[in-house]
Amino acid sequence: MNRRSFLWQSGGGFGGLAMSHLLASDGLNQPQAHLNGGLHHPAKAKRIIQLFMTGGASPMDTFDYKPELARLHGQNLGPSEKQEGFTAKPGAILKSPFEFKQHGQCGQWVSSVFPHQAKYVDELAFLMAMKSKTNVHGPGTYMMNSGFLLPGFPCLGSWASYALGNLSENLPTFVVLPDSKGLPYNQRGPFSSGFLPAVHQGTVIKTGSHEAVPDLFASKGFSFTNPQADHAGMALLNQINQAHATKHPDDSRLESRIRSYELAAKMQLSAPEAFDLSKETQITKKLYGLDQEITRDFGQRCLLARRLCERGTRFVQVWSGPQGATDNWDNHGSISKELPPIAASVDQPIAALIHDLKGRGLLDDTLLIWTTEFGRTPFAQGGDGRDHNGGSFVSWMAGAGVKAGTSYGKSDDWGYQTEEGTTYCYDLHATILHLLGIDHQKLTVRQNGIDRRLTDVHGHVIQEILS
Amino acid sequence: MISRLFVLVFLPLIVRADEFFLTKVEPILRERCYQCHSHEFNKIKGGLSLDSRSGWSHGGDSGPAIVPNSPEESLLIKAINYQDPDYEMPPKEKLSGEEILILTEWVKKGASDPRVSQIKTIDTDWWSLRPLKAPIVPRSGHPIDAFIEHSLEEAGLKPSPSAQSTTLVRRLFVTLHGYLPRPEEIHDFVNNTSPDAFKNLIDQLLKSPRYGERWARHWLDTIHFADSHGCEHDVKRPHAWRFRDYVIDRLNADVSWDRFIREQIAADYFYPSQPELIAGLGYLAAGPLELSRAGTAPLTFDYLDRDDMVTQTMASFTSTTANCARCHSHKFDPITQEDYYCLQAVFAGVGKGDIEFERSNEVMTQRQELEELIDAAARLDTKILLQEKYRATVDQWIENQIQKEVTWQTLTPEIFLASGGTNLTLEKDGVIFAGGHLADQETYTVSGQVPPKKISAVRLEVLKDERNPKGGPGRAGNGNLHLSEVELQWFEHGSATSLPLKISQASADFDQEGWTSAQAIDGDLQSGWAIFPRINESHQIIFELETPIDTSKGGRLVVTLKQQHPPKHLIGRFRISTTQANAEAARLLSSEAQQALKEAPLKRSQHQNTLLASLALKQHAQKSLRLLPSKEVVYGVSSSWSHAKKLPTPQAPKTVHFLRRGSIDHPMHPVEPGALSALNHFPARFALDPQESEAARRAALANWIAHPQNPLTWRSIVNRVWQYHFGRGLCETPNDFGRMGSLPSHPELLDWLAIWFRDEAKGSLKDLHRLILTSKTWQQASVPTPNTNDTDNQLLWRMNSQRIDAETLRDSVLHLANRLDFTMGGPGIEQFQKSKGPQATPVLDYRSFDWNSPEAARRSIYRVVWRGIPDPFMEAFDFPDLGILAPKRGFSVSALQSLSLFNNEFILHGSQWIARELQLKSSNLTTQVDQLVELIWLRQASTDEQRALSKYAQEFGLAALCRVLLNSNEFLFIQ
């Protein structure tokens, strides 16, 4: 195997420093110090926390105020047939059951389901007219994560890991914190590294599990494993591998494996502390809602995301809601009954995260993203539920390089389709890569005949929301 | 002669000057429109290009932009006038009044446009598309060595010496069997000095079924096969394993490559008398399936599901990226968008699902005959039924019928209820009379003690009675009744729960036309048994139990009589009884048949003989069918499936449209099945007769692929095999031989191998393995780099060393622990705990798997591979994401991988197992350490090593030492 292709495949696994050292002579991707860690231009963001609302968060019941729906409530004005990707024939126009008010200096409308986030709208930049190419959860979730409707493509976090490597050798580069009730649609698909090496996939951490990182230590019940045996074993292994490597002096893979055990040992020292929330103050815990049943799960994971970012994890993805039709944002049955509890479970923790990141100065070089896979219909399904709608939905960004208190794009009067400033996942991803110092058109990997990009053949950096 | 493929690319080329257009119109278009609507700017917004006549006449997503002579109908003119707020062009600044006038005038006068599209050829003169032509072998000796040594010599390089025999044998076991050998397995070979020893070992390993298990995994990777759908509803495919077993079997049987192609694409068409080969159709169903999309977005589903089949078929067999032509003709290779949709049309008649098939031709023939006999009985086909060969069967049946005597015991009702308000009264002899309110629907429930011994059938008599309309036995105005459904339950004495009794057959003395006894047990409440016009007489219906129940402990039988449809057709008077006689003997014959039985044999009419034969042979055939081995099932494709649902009857192929820009919103013309027009060994459009079966489409593609003159197919497979033996193909991109792929390092060798494989080896993979493995090239040592420019070893001056893959790692640990279970085939092994998930996809917990359970030691190929929830341990060692084709395994190194290898329970168990084995053989630690080193590294420990390892083992145990050695590079890398 040639050194170049080997390094290409294994590179990101060593962590930023080691990788840039190894790759120095190869002229491949490498974070540039003079570009603040960017690849192609100066980076504004060093790390990312992405909050993903599984199921399709309703725009017209959260951030996209539509008075027209109240006026036309109950009238059958939508399509008369079931649309491709809808689960049922659309019903009558359905007004939002929640009260909307304008907030902050920017005057962003927010409904009563998000009282806490409403206080921070001046920190956020809203994409009010995001569009998907599908109305189906699985493909929609793939699309928002990997830019493709089909399985097998690397997600945003994997591309970031591949392009930039680690900020710290002590923790995994890309951590995924799924809802304690279960994995999102497509199971581990949304955090897959696809055709990139497996080392770039998201490391899934179940909160509440006794182990910070999978296989960090041997499980109990094996008498021959204990700290002394493990430590001496690693040392002996190093000795054996060093001796072996001297017989194969040109094989850099052997060196890399030796190094990987050193990193593993570092991770064993650092990870338990990073994942231990008990050292946080009561005030912080309360801020994130750890003292309340409804916010505890998401709050713990937001707090963990902050701790991991502080300690050098590049990309943390926090999911709200499992796959399925309950306990998430897929409110087919009743917006008035199903949305408030799931909204309440994330609202205070998200506000806390913004507040906390800001207070610690992390928001300056951390990008915070709130998104979902698509929106919902302005038409009723059943009584007062809403069906899937890729026509228009809302995402927001905050932090590094983002123009706070702005909004871009506009949906039509019903919130059914986008009208102005339409953005797709491609534009969102191009913008995120841009903030990481990466030109989305230049980050490519050849796979089965195509130079693949996160943004496929699309994508524009959304300059309007950049500071 | 190389064919040239003409691809239309719309580039402006001025052929005939047109004054007005050139001086007035074109400058406006260029200035104000091209930026978003021309090839020059590489932007065709909304699908509309304005840089050629065909550009605007085809138009964009909204249709033609200009209707010549008619400005008011032309979208372009409307747009520049800002007439429709949705179409204001150019969007940023309206054209000036004069510009608008010029364009309007131009359209009005017929929109004369001299710009025709330029015809650009994408060259088909490309290495992989050139016909195969045998190159001259540059020197004598082994042909592979001849080519390799020749190019080494040209580069001033020398091949490396042969590897040591233990290294070679380790390498050979891994490449052919997929696990490391135990010392005793190589002992004979290492001590055998005969020149044929290695060749014999190759033969021995190729003969072993372990070979098919190893190489099947390569093919399953290549075609992204898994045991679950993947995507949102990642549910298991319980029958997918049949295809996995098929691949193992066919590789072990060394089926020729062209036949392997035909079997997997169209076994049903090519080999109808080998029904067991239907398992091969699992090939086309290997990839993921988006169940959610199948339900809610069916049109999109069809195009994307077929896209997956096209992508897989063309990549795996011909190393071609046809899927790159979904939205536009291939940018680099001569594959038109039309070609792509023609390939989709090949699969337009099939859907993925559980396909039943016969395990052998013999069983298939028997089943067909028996089913035909049942059909013949149903239509009273004298010619068939009265054949001499059936005579004994029929006579025997008649004799049994005449002799049979069935006694019935009346059920004494203890509880009898009517849910709809009917008044049930018990009369004498267990008879129940139904009177009072006449409900629309009714359900009678009757229960009572039954006599000991057993019950084999239950009889319901419906009795005539003057109190009911027309004498009954029903309460409907015409004396009829409708028994929609019957259910039987058994409460054994002392048992709190009931056992539902399965009814295998119902028969009555008379069936009303369209309302037969069978309909009373079909599960459908809209159908049932009735007796009109034979009113004013009693009738009976008998329900045979699938298995008789033992009633020796006593208990209660519960009979539920549902009378739902049509309304008010209720039973007026009835009685229930049971028998322990043979259920078949209890079966009721129609009065006509009874009449025929009573007749003296010689006096029976031909009709009566036919009738009796039909009853006898139907019973005989049904019984024989039950004794036949059941059909097998594979997750494959057939015309009886669509949108992941089974259809009542096979579908005709769906119409596939050429989709403009690959969008289902823009269907253009329909297309017919075909393949790549860049090759001319076989017609690129199959031009099948519309009368031909659906399978003929797939068969035509299989023939196109497997054709001896298809240059891609033969290069593709020899390159794959080369890759698995050397760690890298002669062409490094096994799924892409196009311009975006790699160039072959040894094009002549590749062609020579392709032709040799096709003509000399007749498509035998085992011969190809033999050829490669006996070459000096493959047997070279993997020595350190000499002073050379070819550090990458492109020219193969040494062997590439490789880290073992996930399966080899796992199977080797089991084998070294002497636990590897060589049981072959069957349903996959679930190496996880499974529990219910939030929706259809279960939750898999790999960490709770019991590594001491019986199936834990099966070979890795038999693991259930859950597409969306793969085994984290295997994944850490680069087991691929099977959402996409995986023609080669990656190589990664990370801290997480090292943690996995050091701490994963499988490795810890493995260390313990191996240590225990050695401790049983010897109690001396030094011996144990020596044997451990020999087992894991296949060599003797040096004195220094022995000292260091023993010291560690002394302190922490042999298992701890084993864990360290399993983490060593010497164990993980094959030299």
Q: What DSSP line would sit under B432-458, residue for residue?
A: EEEESS--SSEEEEEEEE--SSEEEEE
The confidence score (pLDDT) of residue A12 equals 32
The confidence score (pLDDT) of residue B280 equals 98
What confidence tens digit (pLDDT) does each residue in B197-211 have? 999 999 999 999 999
List the domain boundaries for chain A.
Answer: 47-213+275-465, 217-271
Segment A32-49 shows an average pLDDT of 92
The fold for domain A47-213+275-465 equals Alkaline Phosphatase, subunit A (3.40.720)
The confidence score (pLDDT) of residue B291 equals 93
Higher pLDDT, B25 or B760: B760
Nearest to A224 among B231, B957, B967 (CB): B957
Q: Is the pLDDT of residue A132 over 50?
A: yes
Q: Is the pLDDT of residue B468 over 80?
A: yes
Question: What dihedral do alpha carbons A408, A414, A415, A420 form, nearest 10°?
Answer: -40
Segment B26-53 shows an average pLDDT of 80
Token pair for B602: 């010689």
CA distance B768 to chain A (A): 23
The confidence score (pLDDT) of residue B16 equals 42
Segment B485-494 shows an average pLDDT of 91
The confidence score (pLDDT) of residue A24 equals 29
Separation of alpha carbons A53 and A329, rounded Å: 7
Contacts B793 to A, Cβ<8 Å? 2
Higher pLDDT, B620 or B62: B620
- Tell me the sheet residues that pair with B906: none
The confidence score (pLDDT) of residue B8 equals 39
Higher pLDDT, B111 or B280: B280
A residues 151-180 closer than 8 Å to B (CB): 151-153, 169, 172
Residue B6 CA: distances (Å) to CA of B3, B124, B332, B700: 10, 10, 13, 24
Least confident of A110-114, A135-139, B113-117: B113-117
CA B249 to chain centre: 17
Residue bearing tokens 């109240």? A70
Is A213 an 8 Å CB contact of chain B?
yes
B residues 56-85 closer than 8 Å to A (CB): none
Is B957 an 8 Å CB contact of chain A?
yes
Report the residue of A173, A216, A224 to disrupt the B interface, i.e. the one with the largest count of B CBs within 10 Å.
A224
Is A205 an 8 Å CB contact of chain B?
no
Residue B330 CA: distances (Å) to CA of A241, A300, A430, B478, B746: 48, 49, 25, 74, 26
Report the residue of A3, A213, A236 to disrupt the B interface, i.e. the one with the largest count of B CBs within 10 Å.
A236
* Helix (H) or strand (E) segment spanning residue B354: strand B351-357
Is B878 an 8 Å CB contact of chain A?
yes
The fold for domain B407-580 equals Jelly Rolls (2.60.120)
Q: Is the pLDDT of residue A341 over 90?
A: yes
User: Which positions ≥6 away from B185 have C-beta within 8 Å?
Assistant: B173
List the domain boundaries for chain B.
Answer: 5-122, 255-357+634-706, 407-580, 906-974
Segment B612-618 shows an average pLDDT of 94
Higher pLDDT, B328 or B369: B369
The confidence score (pLDDT) of residue A16 equals 33
Closest alpha carbon within chain A to B963: A233
Q: Are A465 and A430 in contact (CB under 8 A)?
A: no
CA distance B895 to chain A (A): 5
CA distance B937 to chain A (A): 12
Q: Which of A269-278, B171-180, B438-447 has the highest mean pLDDT?
A: B171-180
What confidence tens digit (pLDDT) does each residue in B655-693 have? 999 998 888 888 989 999 999 999 988 899 999 998 899
Higher pLDDT, A80 or B383: B383
Closest alpha carbon within chain B to A226: B956
Inter-chain touch B232–A138, beta carbons under 8 Å: yes
Token pair for A308: 């991991």
Q: What is the 3-state secondary structure (H, E, C) of chain A?
A: CCHHHHHHHHHHHHCHHHHHHHHCCCCCCCCEHHHCCECCCCCCCCEEEEEEECCCCCCCCCCCCCHHHHHHCCCCCCCCCCCCCCCCCCCCECCCCCCEEEECCCCEEEECCCHHHHCCHHHEEEEEEECCCCCCHHHHHHHHHHCCCCCCCCCHHHHHHHHHCCCCCCCCCEEEECCCCCCCCCCCHHHCCCCCCHHHCCEECCCCCCCCCCCCCCCCCCCCCCHHHHHHHHHHHHHHHHHHHHCCCCCHHHHHHHHHHHHHHHHHHHHHHHCCHHHCCHHHHHHCCCCCHHHHHHHHHHHHHHHHHHCCCCEEEEEECCCCCCCCCCCCCEHHHHHHHHHHHHHHHHHHHHHHHHHCCHHHCEEEEEEECCEEEEEEECCEEEEEECCCEEEEEEECCECCCEEECEECCCCCCEEECCECHHHHHHHHHHHCCCCCCCCCEEECCEEECCCCCCCCCCHHHEC
Q: Is the pLDDT of residue A5 over 50?
A: no
User: Which positions ≥6 away from B877 have C-beta within 8 Å?
Assistant: B805, B806, B809, B897, B900, B901
Separation of alpha carbons B11 and B116, rounded Å: 8
Contacts B232 to A, Cβ<8 Å? 136-138, 141, 185-186, 323
A residues 15-74 closer than 8 Å to B (CB): none
Residues B910-935: b if buried by 16+ CB within 10 A, e if exposed: bbbbbbebbbeeeeebeebbbbbbeb
Looking from the CA of A246 toward its CB, the CA atoms found within 13 Å total 5
Is B892 an 8 Å CB contact of chain A?
yes
Higher pLDDT, B704 or B191: B704
Give the type of residue at B819.
Answer: R
CA geometry: angle B436, B442, B443, nearest 5 deg: 120
Q: Are A377 and A89 in contact (CB under 8 A)?
A: no
Residues A177-195: b if buried by 16+ CB within 10 A, e if exposed: bbbbbbbbbbbbbbbbbbb
Separation of alpha carbons B663 and A134, rounded Å: 12
Question: What dihedral do alpha carbons B243, B246, B248, B249 form, nearest 10°?
Answer: 170
The confidence score (pLDDT) of residue B154 equals 93
The confidence score (pLDDT) of residue A156 equals 97
Looking from the CA of A296 toward its CB, the CA atoms found within 13 Å total 8
What confidence tens digit (pLDDT) does each residue in B873-890 have? 999 999 999 999 999 998
Q: Are B644 and B352 in contact (CB under 8 A)?
A: yes
A residues 333-392 closer than 8 Å to B (CB): 388
Inter-chain touch B838–A327, beta carbons under 8 Å: yes
Separation of alpha carbons B343 and B339, rounded Å: 6
What confidence tens digit (pLDDT) does each residue in A89-131 have? 899 999 999 999 999 999 999 999 999 999 999 999 999 999 9
The confidence score (pLDDT) of residue B122 equals 62
The confidence score (pLDDT) of residue A251 equals 85
Segment A21-35 shows an average pLDDT of 57
Query: Of A57, A194, A130, A56, which is closest to residue A425 (Cα–Cα)?
Result: A130
Separation of alpha carbons A154 and A454, rounded Å: 8
Separation of alpha carbons B367 and B632, rounded Å: 13
Q: Which of B112-126, B548-562, B677-691, B954-968 has the highest mean pLDDT?
A: B954-968
Q: What is the 3-state secondary structure (H, E, C) of B773-832?
A: HCCHHHHECCCCCCCCCCCCCCCCCCCCCEECCHHHHHHHHHHHCCCCECCCCCCCECCC
What rounded mean pLDDT belongs to chain B? 91
User: Which positions ≥6 away from B148 have C-beta within 8 Å?
Assistant: B159, B746, B749, B775, B777, B795, B796
Inter-chain touch B296–A1, beta carbons under 8 Å: no
What confidence tens digit (pLDDT) does each residue in B818-842 have? 999 999 999 999 999 999 988 899 9
Q: Is the pLDDT of residue B347 over 70?
A: yes
Inter-chain touch B784–A451, beta carbons under 8 Å: no
Segment B723-733 shows an average pLDDT of 95
B520 band by pLDDT with thresholds 50, 70 and 90: very high
Q: Are B566 and B530 in contact (CB under 8 A)?
A: no
Segment B270-274 shows an average pLDDT of 97
Segment B289-294 shows an average pLDDT of 93
What confidence tens digit (pLDDT) does each residue in A69-81 have? 999 999 999 888 8
B451 band by pLDDT with thresholds 50, 70 and 90: confident
Closest alpha carbon within chain B to A136: B293
Query: Of B68, B56, B67, B95, which is closest to residue B79 (Cα–Cα)?
Result: B95
Q: Are B443 and B560 in contact (CB under 8 A)?
A: yes
A163, burial (CB in 10 Å: exposed 0-12, middle 13-18, buried 19+): buried
Structure ipTM over 0.90, yes or no: no
Q: What sign results for the dihedral spanned by CA atoms B879, B883, B887, B893?
A: negative
The confidence score (pLDDT) of residue A27 equals 39
Inter-chain touch A214–B969, beta carbons under 8 Å: no
- Tell me the sheet residues that pair with B499: B490
Q: Is the pLDDT of residue B181 over 60?
A: yes
Least confident of A72-81, A181-190, A201-210, A288-297: A201-210
Q: How much of chain B, in percent, has pLDDT values that exceed 70?
A: 97
Segment A16-32 shows an average pLDDT of 45
Q: Is the pLDDT of residue B578 over 70?
A: yes
B2 band by pLDDT with thresholds 50, 70 and 90: very low
Residues B398-416: b if buried by 16+ CB within 10 A, e if exposed: beebeeeebebebbebeeb
Helix, strand, or coil (residue B920)? helix
Residue A256 CA: distances (Å) to CA of A259, A278, B63, B963, B969: 5, 35, 58, 20, 11
The confidence score (pLDDT) of residue B42 equals 67
Give the type of residue at B543.
Answer: F
B116 band by pLDDT with thresholds 50, 70 and 90: low
B787 band by pLDDT with thresholds 50, 70 and 90: low
Q: What is the 3-state secondary structure (H, E, C) of B852-887?
A: CCHHHHECHHHECCCCCCCCHHHHHCCCCCCCCCCC
A17 band by pLDDT with thresholds 50, 70 and 90: very low
Higher pLDDT, B15 or B318: B318
Give the type of residue at B299.
Answer: L
